[in-house]
Amino acid sequence: MPPYAPTPESNKYKKQQEKLMRPRVINGKPTFIKFLPQDDLVALHPVYLTDPNDFTPRRQRNGDMLEWGIIERDEAVELNMMQTIELRRQQDSRMAKCMYHGSLVPEVQFINALMERKKAKIAAARDPQREASDYVLTVRLRNRLSDTERASCTSAVMWRRIKVSGATKLSVFQDKILAPALGWTRNYHGYLFVDDSDGTQYGADGGSHIDLMHLKDNGRTYLDDHEFTLAEILPQPDTNKPGFHYIYDLGDYWLHDIYVESILPVSESDGKVVLLAGGGACPREDGQGCHNWIKYIASLTPAKHAEIARSMNYCDDPEVRRLGSQWRFDPHTFDLAAARTRIATALASPASVPSGPKKTSIGMTNPFTHPGGDSAPKGTHRTVIPSGIGFNPFGKNSALHGAFQTEVVRDRRDTRASALCAHCGKPIAKPKMCSACRKVYYCDQDCQKTHWKEHKRQCVG
Ligand SMILES: [Zn+2]
Ligand SMILES: [Zn+2]
């Protein structure tokens, strides 16, 4: 996972470095983490000199459990800007001096050990009954304004209530259910799920979303969310306390709380995805995080309505297209039918390829004949979304007009492990696929029949 994606060169380098690395002896006890001899340990938090197997995660001052529960800085000490820059300089200098590669960075070695510990814990607690149960979840965007500011705009903060099978992979839940339910764009930004009990982070393995550059300030690394089902990682129901968090866009940092409302008995669980209810409109993509967003929507001008209408997650909205310049953004409205349609569309399409997210490209070459130099993994191809369709960040009159968007999309059907019924969203135990195109799965014949009037337009059989 970036920025630690292994390459053949780096693996060779990594092996050379590994040979050099040794534990340090501190107070007569060797450290768990190995260091290069030239590492002076400047600006390394003492927690990394301890044994990760004895580590107890800690909550931040505001009560949040994030970033593996590692609090690297004493929150009571307010650093001024110069001190922050100096601390960062020391950390970067240590990294550069030792030229640690990837997972050999002491901090990541420590978190890797926490990951192994967590994986063992999840494996020991695995319960097949849970996978056969449906979960009712409420997801709520965190309003991070002060109490006085909050009073006027609480209802503007969005929430959604979703029923989903416990057997759904976390990665698929994010891609085909959660993002469309909320109104975020699929495969555009990076994201993290965080377990509120211990700060464990999950994210997209191999994701190359640009905002993942902020990962080093957001817990540094994560477990592959494709390895776990919701049933394996979600806690017991608690309607008062969020058991999980969803951070969308590591730059803008939209923090959502996930509450497990209930776990239905197996006899009452049909596995189908249902968006039960919701409120509040999704902020626009690249809207600079909740704090700025709440201020932004406090007074909406025609220019702001137009800016939201042009954004990635609103430009293709049917209402925005229908009303054109007459369209007005209302932060308090939620269109349940439109959100259900977004989920249905996502369920009927292949899973996103996190290594080839949607991105804007600017170039002199004709995007239709030379769709970018990036190679696409086997079984995928890079698409070009022509300007005029979809999002163009550089308006018509900009000198940069002509920018185009690309994304890597899957040619093949999803893997069986991640397959959901293209109609109802139920995870598939016995795969039954469309025999004409062999690209979509159905849980039974009823779902396939009902879905045909939608699917026949895409089916290439
Ligand atoms: Zn179905
Ligand atoms: Zn088909």
Closest ligand (CA of 432): 1
Question: Comparing 12-16, 222-226, 385-389, 412-416, which segment has the lowest mean pLDDT?
Answer: 385-389
Burial 311-349 (b: 16+ CB within 10 A, else e): bbbbbebeebeeeeeebebebeebeeeebbebbbebbbb
Closest ligand (CA of 448): 1
Ligand 1 centre to CA of 272 (Å) is 7
Domain spans, the chain: 8-124, 127-338, 352-409
Ligand 1 centre to CA of 424 (Å) is 4
Q: Return d(Cα 80, Cα 85) in angstroms, integer.
A: 9
Write the pLDDT tens digit of every residue in 322-366: 999 999 999 999 999 999 999 999 999 999 999 999 987 766 455
- pLDDT given for residue 98 in this prediction: 73
- Summarize the confidence of residues 217-223 as an average pLDDT: 93
Ligand 2 centre to CA of 433 (Å) is 8
Place 229 in a pLDDT band, splitting at 50, 70 and 90.
very high
Asked if the model's pLDDT at residue 253 lies above 50, the reply is: yes
- pLDDT given for residue 254 in this prediction: 96
Ligand 1 centre to CA of 371 (Å) is 36
- pLDDT given for residue 77 in this prediction: 74
Ligand 2 centre to CA of 457 (Å) is 9
- Summarize the confidence of residues 186-202 as an average pLDDT: 97
- CATH 3.10.290.30 matches 127-338: yes
Q: Return d(Cα 212, Cα 397) in angstroms, integer.
A: 31
Asked if the model's pLDDT at residue 101 lies above 80, the reply is: no
Closest ligand (CA of 438): 2
Q: Which residues surround ligand 1, an ion (CB under 5 A)?
A: 421, 423-424, 426, 443, 447
Strands 159-165 and 274-279: antiparallel
- pLDDT given for residue 1 in this prediction: 41
- Summarize the confidence of residues 112-131 as an average pLDDT: 96
Q: Return d(Cα 255, Cα 290) in angstroms, integer.
A: 8
Which residues, other chains included, contact 37 with Cβ-Cβ below 8 Å and sequence gap of 6+? 20, 22
Closest ligand (CA of 443): 1
